[in-house]
Structure 1
């Protein structure tokens, strides 16, 4: 009955805000950050994903990000990504997808109303002038990239530990969750701030809160419905079958 109610609420809502974390891409073969086999297994984050690490050894940091970039580009959007793209097409301007992921799979699945809170592993940002540009295909990429505008050295266009999120992007995400009729939180541990606050923010503003996660999280007690499922299975339960990705 709870799932059926969630289906009805989601179908009727004109304003839907979605937050996704690493769990939404796990079924595409991209490891999550924590636990056995996670991206940080065998590494310390401060060795690879902090401004200090980059200042100390930029070549080491770029080698690791180039490896991750190649892995990400081999992956394909899974049914959870595709169903979220379908949901966006149904809701139009009333929809916003906020992701903590840097893999770009939502965009490749056809989503367009996307806020990438933590940046994108497929882009670089110039240390000198701030220009952003896409990386070449992995087999043609030799790090570090050089800025096409000023010739400066570029860093990965991701948010590292100890850095602030883009204030404009965060404000856009907060507005969407504060005004949502339904908030959908998928595949995130709900512990990394400030993204973890978005679901609580929506609930406090009166939204119907749906969580999809194989494990309970700090958000679970607040959720109107909490589905113990993978992202793909949870989205199937909520919205049914997905259309094929654009151009397939």
Structure 2
């Protein structure tokens, strides 16, 4: 499998793990609409091939879809996995470049090696609990509607696992994973500020890796913003490395 095919496959798995409320497939481009969720849930995944002279037509079609719902179009741009020239076409149409992201991968075995004596206790659930959701919201709430975020999680197809790292009786860090055709995606990592530096996030990752290994997933992937230095250090220490970088283009 080429890197391009792997990138496309992982990003399509990620889209299934972050399911939009409405999805339209147009000639291989996935148009997601999630009006009240975090913005990255509702974007265009433009993986279907397109000839250079056809790009503008297809961009205009996507713009019409989002305009019809009162939203601006936003495209996820992964070099090598999107049609050549798309980023340039969007820039020429006035789209802003935003949110540089690193797509990273690791073997489940490598992540599991990071377990250490005295690691924090981690609970795993099949569904998000209120305690799990409250920690995630406390760290990452960006104006998205809480009810819509709950609904998004309810749309995720199993098998899934929600992890809570606990100190005493208090949940201090969370994360979730979705197993999908041999891979386990890592999402929603969050640690309360007072618990940082105590191994909570690493304990969550190791617990998710243990679960992944038990659910026929030999490899893991995640997406992290490139300006999040603490998270990048954590993922490097636990065995992840970058497969590719990507960014978004937003209309207006």
Q: How does the TM-score come out when normalised to structure 1?
A: 0.27
Q: In proportion to residue count, which structure has more strand?
A: 2
Q: How does the TM-score come out when normalised to structure 2?
A: 0.26
